[in-house]
Every structure is written in structure tokens, then in C-alpha cells.
Structure 1
């Protein structure tokens, strides 16, 4: 019998083997060079208790940033040599970007790595936050911190495939909008990978 507790259900889903994902998943005409060098990064997928069920904490990046300005993202960033591992990277970045203390996060599991068009291999670390904390957007980096229902972003019916020009060619990508928030690209692809595991 599958687990009925939502965190246990997610933990069981993450324990199953799965294939890595990529920003190129929907663009089969792209041939990636085998010699490409990818930089390690990690994001935290924070699951927060709410009266109506689990919610996912996300950030809206500052419009002043050079990379991905104004986009919706998980808290996270590139691996630092001082980080013990990629989980430490995700937790450090979440603390810096949102004020989330590392000690409040119970690690549930990880999703397979996701390759981005910007040359990163991103490991999503799923964490459960049962206690409230004082949210503090990182000045100059994070414009807004908000939450969306986990049920919304893990329902495959809420996803759509759209496209826009990237380096002169159409690039297709997943989107999973919620209210005023246009969630797309790597963030939507990682959420789709989680949704597919929970079906």
C-alpha cells in the first residue's frame, strides 16, 4: 500500500531511480557536444506546511540581475569549494536568498540532476520545513519570496509547452503558471520531473 503521509509519499518517489533532465528535453534537434564542461550547482525545493496542504517556496529574481532577471526560481546557486557537498550548497543559498535557517530543513531526497542552457548541472534537493521562519529576501538578488500549492505544480494537467526564440532558433520549454507568476524553464522542468514521479 502506498504511503498516505505526503512527505513519506514524496520520499518514496524520490528513492526510485530516474533519468536526469535538461533544458533541451523538448528540443530534440539540438546536439550537445560531449566535451562540454558543466559547472555544479544545487537548488533547494522547499516544501512548507500550510493549512491547505504542502506548499513550495519560490523566489522571483531581481530584474537588475545579469542572468535570468525577473525569473521565478528555487533558492540555490553554484557549488562553492567551501561547501561540504551539494546539499550544503542548496541550504547555504536558501539561507542567503530567503533567510531560511539550515537547521529548519529536513532533507527528503534529491531529484536527478538537470542541465541548463547556461552550462550548469543543477541538483535539486527536496527539503521539508515544518516550522515557520522570518523570510528575508536577499537585497539585490531576490525581489520576492512566495509560495504555491504543491498540488498545483505537481499536477501534469497544469503544465503546458511553449516556445520562444533562443539564439535565433525556437526553443520549447515547460511552463506551469500560478496566478501572476509565470513559472517556466528549468524551474518548471524540475517541477515536472517531480510531478511525473508522483503520478
Structure 2
């Protein structure tokens, strides 16, 4: 079993260096044919691992129920890329500052995972960062209903991931989940976390 309390930054860096492929909300549904020539909108999310307490935790949010896309779901801070964002890291840091009040200069960026395509037409770059200092989130209520943390050790165990299904546009769509206490983490968020978990175990 991984011991992520001992030098987690080195382990995360090694995971980022390992080869991998882009993922998709449709990974578990090979019968679903994505349309050719589709245009995806670039976006980025920030996977923040906090280290200040000695027990690495991952910062997650519960999205506002008033949002158009993915209302009430568990997600990373993030969103679509704007023209003035220099790159995916700048995109993710800006969104994290807007959504949960994380100062953009505070996280240490380690790198990025391969992109993830969502059912809503975004090509999302997961940007991995660590936070050495204590941080008190200030949520933007128009976007975020709650900010919470989940132990990295729970999220980095592939055996903790389940495959569930629901009907979507008249078809049964399968997806990953990684429940934690009262939080139902699923879909794109669970898929991107599992991608990192598999790399850590490689």
C-alpha cells in the first residue's frame, strides 16, 4: 500500500512523468461513438494537495445547485479557459482564486495530467499542485456551495473506485465513483483522480 505521508511531492512528480493517455467521460462506454470533427472548449481544473497538516488532503468543492453545468456535483475548482489565460496552469489558478479564494501565488504547480473530455464538450487539463501553507477557503456562493478535503490516501487507492451507471440521453452510461463519507464523487472528477491513482501505483 502506498505511504503518501512520506515525501508525497516526489511520488506525485514521478506519477506525472509516467506515460498516459487522454481520458473521457465515455471511457467505460465503448459502444458510444463520439462525433467526428467535434469542437471541444478548453478548460482546466486545479487538483490541490494540501500538506500543512502532515496528512495530504485533496481540496474539492460541491458546486452550487444554481449552476447550468453539473449543478450540485463534486468538482475541482476550475472552468473554461479565457483568452487572457497564458496556459492551463494560469487558467486553473485563476479559477481557484475566483471560486475558493486560493491566492494564485500560493500553490506549487507540479505539472499536468493528460486531458479529459467531458459530456458537456470541454477538453479539461487537470493541473496538479501542492499547498505547503494552511489555507482557509472563501467560497464564491454563486458557484460553490461547499469546500472540503478528502485524504489523498483514500483517493489514490484504485480499489476504492466503483463503476456505476445511469441513463443519459436514452442510453445507459457507466462511470467511476469514489465515495467518501457524505460525498458522492463521480464522473469526470472521479475519472481524473483515478488516472492519477493508477499512475502512482505503476
Q: TM-score range by the shorter chain?
A: over 0.9
Residues in 1 aligned to 2:68 and 2:36: alpha-carbon distance in whole angstroms: 27
Aligned to 1:39: 41
Residues in 1 aligned to 2:80 and 2:66: alpha-carbon distance in whole angstroms: 19
Aligned to 2:25: 23
Aligned to 2:60: 58
2:50 pairs with 1:48: yes
Aligned to 1:117: 119
| Residue 139 of structure 1: how far off its partner (Å) | 2.0
Alignment counterpart, residue 135 of structure 1, candidates 137, 142, 155 = 137
Aligned to 1:5: 7
Listed as ranges, the gaps of 5+ residues in structure 1 are: none
| Residue 34 of structure 1: how far off its partner (Å) | 2.0
SS of 2:129's partner is strand
Q: TM-score if structure 2 supplies the norm length? A: 0.95
Aligned to 2:180: 178
Stretch deviating more after TM superposition (4-13 or 163-172): 4-13
| Residue 52 of structure 1: how far off its partner (Å) | 5.1
| Residue 50 of structure 1: how far off its partner (Å) | 4.7
Runs ≥4 residues deviating over 2 A: none
SS of 2:105's partner is helix
Aligned to 2:155: 153
Q: TM-score if structure 1 supplies the norm length? A: 0.96
